[in-house]
Amino acid sequence: MLKDATAEQLIQALEDILQKGYHFTDQTSLALVHGIQHPTRKVLTSLPDQLKMTERQKQILELICAGHTAASIAKQLFISRRTVEGHWRKLFEKTGTHNVVGLVSFATQKDLLKRPS
């Protein structure tokens, strides 16, 4: 959220977070798309060892990038929400990101998402 957000925008953001687990403003979405289309950093062709992920972390990353909430992921994978949140924290640590937008951007830039067959 921007510092000058209106009360209505803040309420909408909170409702989005409660319903979907995330909230993107138009500015955030545009910045994300621009960052993907015009990366300022060199994209690695392979991941360093510290970025290697377990199969479970890869599953959770896919579901996060598909827009699922922690509760939804937990239900689909038959694990607790706290376990999912632990995996999220580990993914944030491994990728050096701090939020879902950064994680999705990282996954897209590093081509970590499965392609539909």
8 A C-beta contact, residue 16 and residue 23? yes
Dihedral sign (CA 28, 29, 30, 31):
positive
pLDDT at 20: 86
Find where tokens 């953001």 sit: 13
* Domain extent listing, the chain: 1-38, 44-117
Work out the mean pLDDT of the chain and round it to a whole number.
Answer: 81
Task: From 29, 38, 87, select the one nearest 62 (Cα to Cα).
Answer: 87
Q: How confident is the model at residue 45 (pLDDT cuts 50, 70, 90)?
A: very low
pLDDT at 108: 86
pLDDT at 44: 43
Question: Whole-angstrom Cα distance, residue 22 to residue 99?
Answer: 10
Asked whether the predicted pLDDT for residue 103 surpasses 60, the reply is yes
Q: What pTM was estimated for this model as a whole? A: 0.56
pLDDT at 74: 92
Fold of the domain built from segment(s) 44-117: Arc Repressor Mutant, subunit A (1.10.10)
pLDDT at 40: 56
Mean pLDDT of 35-48: 57
